[in-house]
Amino acid sequence: MKKIVLFVLTALLVASCGKKQEVQLIDAANFNKMVDGKQVSLYTLQNAKLTMQVTNYGARVVALWAPDRKGNYGDVTLGYDHIDKYLNNTGERYLGAVVGRCANRIAGGTITLDGETYQLPKNDGENTLHGGEIGTDRVVWDVVNTTENSIVFHTVLPDGQDGFPGNLDITMTYTLTDDNAFRIDYEATTDKTTLCNLSHHSFFNLQGEGHSVLDQELEINGCWILPVDQTLIPLGDFRSVKDTPFDFMERHAIGEHINDADVQLSNGQGYDHTWIITSNLSGDLVHCATLFDPTSGRKMEVLSDQMGMQFYSGNFFDGKAQGKWGAHVHRGAVALETQKFPDAIHQDNFSDKAVLNPGETYKHTCVYKFTTAKK
């Protein structure tokens, strides 16, 4: 029955409006596997214009189909067509996943909370990245509920996983909204003081896998970045983007200044920095960024209630990994990750330390909204 439904969905998308609108759905059987004693599956969500496939392994977005200016559909996220390729992946680990319990980097792989020091895995040189060796991306999440356009995930990261204290109870909802957006809502609680900073790590290319993003245009609503050292740990100050390659206050091509002689670009081997989102001090849902592809006309707007957004320009893709439709080429995708500031627990100038205490609830909303435009 499931295969029949998927076939009908594809046929309707092809036939509608008399245009060629093909959505090549991945076979759900490719993700039917037991991992760590739990069932992994592939789920398909849809609304009027978007189709998304997600798996509960790492709560990953496997594919996200959006129309171009002519109504033709394309998959705008990088990923794989089989669960084994995620499990045995030797390339980019975080494709389409939720990352945490503390996204981004923690210097030295240690934290101190309530007077007790905890040793974390050093999975990024001398630092901890995206929660450590297991994190949230290597967890098989429970699926609490599904509808035609939404899915609710739940997991509990146990006390001591990756060295972090506290049982962190997380509920996360993915929704394809009526205004053609992919919305993510996070909630988390803990029974012991811990860190909590969750983020979404889809790699977007509005032309699709196998293409460079250097000609795609980006605008970021942030006039300050967090400069970093050579290990991508924040230096602790705030740096204006004015008259630097980091000025995306007005939209311009990602590749326009990416190879400029600049210490920060050298440290990141391109863009791999946190922007401070302008006017987002109140926790409201505000505009963070807009990505536009002149070739297809696809446009993606990012909104969030977080103060920070990490822009990563796919600097470590080397073309060796083969995705669903093409190679993961160097600078062949961008990640736009809304989050709290990295390494906040160690930074005197960062007021929000990403600490979650018992009795508190962590909340975070991120929206990726898709439209088309001529320019």
The H or E element that residue 225 is part of is strand 224-226
- The confidence band for 284, taking pLDDT boundaries of 50, 70 and 90, is confident
For the chain, the maximum distance between any two Cα atoms, rounded to a whole number of angstroms, is: 66
Of 174, 298, 267, 280, whose CA–CA distance to 220 is shortest?
280
Q: Lowest-pLDDT range, 11-25, 161-175, 310-324?
A: 11-25
| pLDDT beyond 90 at 13 | no
pLDDT, residue 10, reads 46
pLDDT, residue 15, reads 39
pLDDT, residue 79, reads 97
Q: What is the pLDDT of residues 132-185, one digit of tens each?
A: 999 999 999 999 999 999 999 999 999 999 999 999 999 999 999 999 999 999
Q: Give how far Cα 261 sits from Cα of 172, 269, 315, 346, Å.
A: 41, 11, 16, 29
- The confidence band for 295, taking pLDDT boundaries of 50, 70 and 90, is very high
In whole angstroms, give the CA distance from residue 355 to residue 31: 35
| pLDDT beyond 70 at 60 | yes
| pLDDT beyond 70 at 21 | no
- Answer yes or no: 209 catalytic: no
- Record the pTM: 0.93
Helix (H), strand (E), coil (C) string for 229-248: CCCCCECCCCEECCCCCCCC
pLDDT, residue 278, reads 83
Q: What is the pLDDT of residues 62-77, one digit of tens each?
A: 999 999 999 999 999 9
As a whole number, mean pLDDT of residues 15-33 equals 77
Q: DSSP assignment, residue 107?
A: G
| pLDDT beyond 60 at 283 | yes
Which residue among 130, 200, 201, 287 is the active-site one? Answer: 201
pLDDT, residue 4, reads 37
Query: HSE (CB half, 13 Å, CA atoms) of 114?
Result: 11
pLDDT, residue 97, reads 98
**Given this structure, which CATH class describes domain 98-139+150-372?**
mainly beta
As a whole number, mean pLDDT of residues 92-107 equals 98
Q: Give the mean pLDDT of the chain.
A: 93
pLDDT, residue 374, reads 87
- The confidence band for 6, taking pLDDT boundaries of 50, 70 and 90, is very low
End-to-end CA distance of the chain: 42
- Answer yes or no: 346 catalytic: no
| pLDDT beyond 90 at 20 | no
Is 207 within 8 Å of 78 (Cβ atoms)?
A: no
pLDDT, residue 7, reads 38
| pLDDT beyond 90 at 90 | no
Q: Lowest-pLDDT range, 139-143, 197-201, 275-279, 307-311?
A: 275-279
- The confidence band for 282, taking pLDDT boundaries of 50, 70 and 90, is low
| pLDDT beyond 60 at 19 | no
As a whole number, mean pLDDT of residues 229-250 equals 97
pLDDT, residue 344, reads 98
